[in-house]
Structure 1
Amino acid sequence: MAKFAESTSVSVEKSRAEIERTLGRYGASGFMYGWNAGSAVVAFEMSQRRVMFNLAMPNRADAEFTRTPTGKSRSPAQAEAAWEQAQRQRWRALALVIKAKLEAVESGITEFEDEFLAHIVLPNGETAGRWMRPQIARAYDSGDMPALLPSPPGR
C-alpha cells in the first residue's frame, strides 16, 4: 500500500506553515516547532492543554534512500532526493493528522482530550502517551487489567 502523499511536491516549510495556520483557525493560543538531526517537534496550546507531536525524521543512511527498490545503489544526489521526499511525505501526513483531529473535535465527533491524549504534555514535560505506554505494557504482562466498567457508586 502506498504511503499518503508519498510523491508530494509540497515543501516541508509549506506543510509546517499549513499546520500553524490550521491551528490558528481552530483556536490555538500558542505554536512552536523545532528540529534536530533525527526528529522534528510541533507543539501548541489549545483548550488549556499543551500538545506536542514528535515527528521522527528518516535516517539518510537507511537503505531505502541509498538503494533503489530493486537493490541498485543510488547516486548521492538520488539518495538526497529520496530522503527529502520522505521528509515531505511525513510532514504532509502530520498536517493531515492534526487537521483531521481538530475537525473531529470541532464537529462534535470526539472530545479534545480524547483525540490528543497521547500527545498532551504533562507537568514533567513528558507526553501522556510516553508516560502511559510502559504502564499499559505492565498491565498486559501481569494480567492485572482494570475493570471494563467502573464499580457502582457506594462500593
Structure 2
Amino acid sequence: MTIPYTRGDSFSGGDSREHIKRALVGYGATDVLFSQRGHRSAIAFRGGGRQFRIVLSLSQSDEIPLGRGDTAEGPVREAKSKVIERANRRSWHALALAIDAKLAAVAAGISTLEAEFLAHVVLPGNRTVFDELEPVIDSAYRSGRRPLFGDSAPSTPAAAPEIPADVPVLHPVPGPAALGWA
C-alpha cells in the first residue's frame, strides 16, 4: 500500500518549495528564489560560483475543458481545480525528491554540484546550458555526426580519462541514417 507521502499528496507546493530551499541552503546555496509566470514556475540559486535555474511547467485550469450550460458547472470547476492542485503538488514534490537525490550524490562524493545541475547552469545571456545544447545535440543525432563545440578545435587533444580495466567498453550509438531513420 502506498502512503500519501510517497505519492506527494500530503505536502502542499509551498511545503515542497520550503523543503527545496532548506536543502539547497543546507548545501551552501545562496540567493534561492522562486518565481512564477503563467503556468511556469522557476527556482534560481547560486552555488559553487555558478548560477542555476530550474523551470517547472505546472498544470493550469485552461488546459482542462469545462462543460457548458450545466448547473453542475460550479462543482465540475471545483473538482477540476482540485485535480490540477494535486498534479502541481506532485510536480513540486517530485522536484524536491530529485534535488534531494542530486544533493545526496554530491554529499557522498559521487558527483559534483556542477555535474548534477549542469543542464540548469545559467550562462551569460540568461540561457541555460540545456537551452544552448539541446539544438546542437538534436542536430548531431539527426546527422549522425559528432558536434563541434566552441569556436575552434583545441590545439592539443585533451588526455583521455583513466578508465579501470573492468569497466565495459561502450560503443558509439549509430546515427539515424545507419538505423534507416533518415
TM-score, normalised on structure 2?
Answer: 0.70
Equivalent positions of 1:38-49 (< 5 A) are: 38-49=39-50
**Structure-2 change in CA distance of 1:138 and 1:78 (3 Å):** same
The residue aligned with 1:27 is 28
Structure 2: tracts of 5 or more residues without a match: 68-72, 149-155, 160-182
Kindly provide the amino acid, as one letter, of the partner of residue 37 in structure 1: G
User: Structure 2 CA distance, aligned partners of 1:94 and 1:141?
Assistant: 31
Mapped contact 2:8–2:90 kept (Cα < 8 A)? yes
User: Structure 2 CA distance, aligned partners of 1:111 and 1:6?
Assistant: 28
**Residue 117 of structure 2: SS of its match in structure 1?**
helix
**Residue 52 of structure 2: SS of its match in structure 1?**
strand
Sequence identity, in percent? 33
Cα shift at 1:124: 1.0
How many pairs align? Answer: 143
Higher relative contact order, structure no. (Cα contacts within 8 Å, ≥ 6 residues apart): 1
**Structure-2 change in CA distance of 1:130 and 1:137 (3 Å):** same
User: Structure 1 CA distance, aligned partners of 2:16 and 2:95?
Assistant: 8
Task: Give the alignment's Cα RMSD to 1 decimal.
Answer: 2.7
Larger radius of gyration: 2
The residue aligned with 2:15 is 14
Cα shift at 1:6: 4.2
Equivalent positions of 1:6-155 (< 5 A) are: 6=7, 8-63=9-64, 75-145=76-146, 151=157
User: Structure 2 CA distance, aligned partners of 1:7 and 1:57?
Assistant: 15
